[in-house]
A = this chain, B = another copy of it.
Amino acid sequence: MNVTIKDVAKAAGVSVATVSRVLNNSAAVSASAAENVNNAIKKLGYSPNFLGRNLRKCETNIILAIIPSTEQTFYSEIIRGMQNAASELGYDILLSASNSSRDVEMRMLNMLFNRIVDAAILLGTQLDVKTLDGLNRQHYIALCCERVEGAELLTVTVDDEGGAFDAVKHLIKMGHRKIGMVSTSVNSMSSHDREQGYRKALEENGIPFREDYIYRGTYDFIHGVKAFEHFMGLPEPPTALFCISDILAASVVKKAISEGYAIGKDISVCGFDNILLSHMYTPGITTVEQPCYDIGRTVVEELIHNINHGERSNKAIRLPYKIIERESVGHYADTNNK
């Protein structure tokens, strides 16, 4: 049933070598031979078996991107960037979801070990520095969106610290001095870096850091609600909240509204990521935009560069962010904290 290069060769009256040549444009072939081959291919409905090709060439031209969760629309533009860059350079991007499980992540990485793919990009990882460095020694691999402290491998992220710094500075500029932060206790350097930015912005403006002004949960929606409850239970609640993600910001806003707060007046809320939700929400959520498309493009371009040059760069690339102002942040002058 399966038609192979041999069948095509026979039908075209040439050798398999010639068929291979027209298939790959790898060497000059006479016009008539080429025509015969192409006709035979069409007639037989032949498509080459890449397992044979890939085995022979020791490459698949596929890059695997491992996503922690497909629940996050956030990855969407990153993936588009990856795909476009890859396609231009003759590669395909395949995706898989690790569900933030170390085991699943390793299982997916088997694709790399088994030579099913040429390289892997981890958008968030459960692996530790040592494992990562070990992988990087043997394979082409990169981190995207989430850096790992101490790991020496190609990493592309937004400038997390800078974004948080500017977001908090924006809140301060709007007159806020009591600024809380909704962060995570998850092992995540982006959380860490954003906390750093938050602290620096406070410091630079002479606002003392208060431990009770920082709430740490997970990325899960519910923790926006919990954070809000925590802050509003404080004797001196914040007038503005900087959240580590738009999902958490939306959750805070939802809870605040249901408690009768006027967003942008009684309480200001700033998110991070600029996912569609932050724009769709009522009110629109002020946030820090990540250059997702560029992040995706960049990591693929760098990775393929590494493959082509047999290099193993450990560049840590930080791309610029942008503050997007919407309605969820208002002037402190208007603020009348309940």
Do residues B258 and A50 form an inter-chain contact, with CB atoms below 8 A? no
Asked if A99 is at the interface (CB within 8 A of a chain B CB), the reply is: yes
A contact residues, total (Cβ < 8 Å): 54
Do residues A251 and B276 form an inter-chain contact, with CB atoms below 8 A? no
Asked if A254 is at the interface (CB within 8 A of a chain B CB), the reply is: yes
Question: What chain B residues lie within 8 Å of A50 (beta carbons)?
Answer: 114-116
Do residues B62 and A116 form an inter-chain contact, with CB atoms below 8 A? yes
Asked if A36 is at the interface (CB within 8 A of a chain B CB), the reply is: no
Do residues B115 and A221 form an inter-chain contact, with CB atoms below 8 A? no
Point out the residue from B48, B70, B221, B254 that lies within 8 Å of A95, measured CB to CB: B70
Asked if A39 is at the interface (CB within 8 A of a chain B CB), the reply is: no
Asked if A188 is at the interface (CB within 8 A of a chain B CB), the reply is: no
The chain B residue sitting closest to A82, CB to CB, is B97
Do residues B280 and A114 form an inter-chain contact, with CB atoms below 8 A? no
Asked if A49 is at the interface (CB within 8 A of a chain B CB), the reply is: yes
Asked if A226 is at the interface (CB within 8 A of a chain B CB), the reply is: no
Number of copies: 2
A53 to chain B, nearest CB (A): 8
Within 8 A of B (CB), among A73-117: 73, 75-76, 79-80, 83, 92-97, 99, 104, 107-108, 110-111, 113-116
Asked if A207 is at the interface (CB within 8 A of a chain B CB), the reply is: no
How long is the Cα–Cα vector from A95 to B45 in the complex, in angstroms? 26
How long is the Cα–Cα vector from A62 to B108 in the complex, in angstroms? 11
Point out the residue from B54, B62, B94, B251 that lies within 8 Å of A280, measured CB to CB: B251
Question: What chain B residues lie within 8 Å of A60 (beta carbons)?
Answer: 51, 116
Asked if A29 is at the interface (CB within 8 A of a chain B CB), the reply is: no
Point out the residue from B58, B79, B138, B280 that lies within 8 Å of A254, measured CB to CB: B280
Beyond the given A45-B138, A94-B96, please list 10 additional residue pairs across the A-B interface where CB-CB is below 8 A: A48-B114, A49-B115, A51-B51, A51-B54, A51-B115, A70-B76, A70-B79, A71-B76, A94-B111, A257-B282
By Cβ-Cβ distance, the 10 closest A-B pairs, closest first, are A50-B114, A95-B95, A51-B55, A47-B113, A71-B76, A70-B76, A254-B282, A94-B94, A49-B115, A257-B282
Q: Can you give 18 A-B contacts (C-beta < 8 A)?
A: A47-B110, A50-B115, A50-B116, A51-B116, A55-B55, A60-B116, A62-B116, A70-B76, A70-B95, A71-B76, A80-B97, A83-B97, A92-B107, A94-B95, A253-B282, A254-B280, A254-B282, A257-B282
